[in-house]
Copies of this chain bind each other. A is one copy, B any other.
């Protein structure tokens, strides 16, 4: 039942997401002792104007 939420800035390809969920799921099952089928991953993509670090929007700091 591990459920993961992954927040990312926009711009990754489907191929990158495909590899990511495969490898992250492997990392979870190897270390937490649970079957692959139990792992769910939600990906959320953010626009650059929807993430801030140190009080500055990513859209302004690039």
Contacts and interface: CB of A to CB of B under 8 A. Distances in A.
B40 A1 contact: yes
Chain A interface residue number, banded? 35 or more
A40 B52 CA distance: 6
A37 to B, nearest CB: 5
B36 A31 contact: no
Interface in A34-58: 36-37, 39-46, 49-58
Contacts of A24: 24, 27-28, 55
B8 A59 contact: no
Interface of A: 1-9, 12, 14, 16-28, 30-33, 36-37, 39-46, 49-60
